[in-house]
Amino acid sequence: MKVAVLASGRGSNLQALIDEWQEGSLPVEFAGVGSDNINAQALVRAEKAGIPVRAFLRENYSDKEAQEKDILNWFEELGAELLVLAGYMRVLSPSFIRQADYPIVNIHPSLLPSFPGLHAQKQALEYGVRVSGCTVHFVDEGMDTGPIILQQAVPVFDEDNVDTLSERILKVEHEIYPEAIRLLALGKVKRQGRKVTIYRHS
């Protein structure tokens, strides 16, 4: 399966995927990594792994639509079969999602549908939950509302702050994101409406 990635920042989730791929336990081909940030560490990580990279800077386009069209065209050239969002900080427009003829997946640092959007860890702490976690989900036209593929819980401790909770969640993200991509690549994920079924033993 040819996988394209969009990332805006340090790319730690991308690195987790690259590590598994280089170890031979992720049966995909990385077609390319794109970013809206020329200084994204994710681009450096991808280049180091020999993956094609490209930056799509918002200021180089007349509007968001033109930027997204360029991204879509590049992914089409690369033959992308799956788009993985790894810390991509821009919301994809409904028209991008409709035009992409491949699934798009994202990872979010909460147990959705709780605490969608930005600063999920801060939201969780302010609400006072005892358990948070992370969610891999398909991207739809809403904000973190797409069908859920995998989730894993992470405890919240009394002494936690945003940094300590974020770090604990990130460790789990690095485990479940590669697992979700592996299941998708092996054709073990079936989606019907909102319901996602995983066939681990078939």
Residues with a known catalytic role:
108
User: Could you tell me if 49 and 5 are in contact, meaning their C-beta atoms sit under 8 angstroms apart?
Assistant: no
Interior angle at CA 166, CA 165 and CA 168, nearest 5 = 65
| Spatial CB neighbours of 8, under 8 Å, sequence gap ≥ 6 | 35, 36, 37, 40, 42, 87, 88, 89, 90
Residue whose token pair is 């939201």: 123
Type of residue found at 7: A
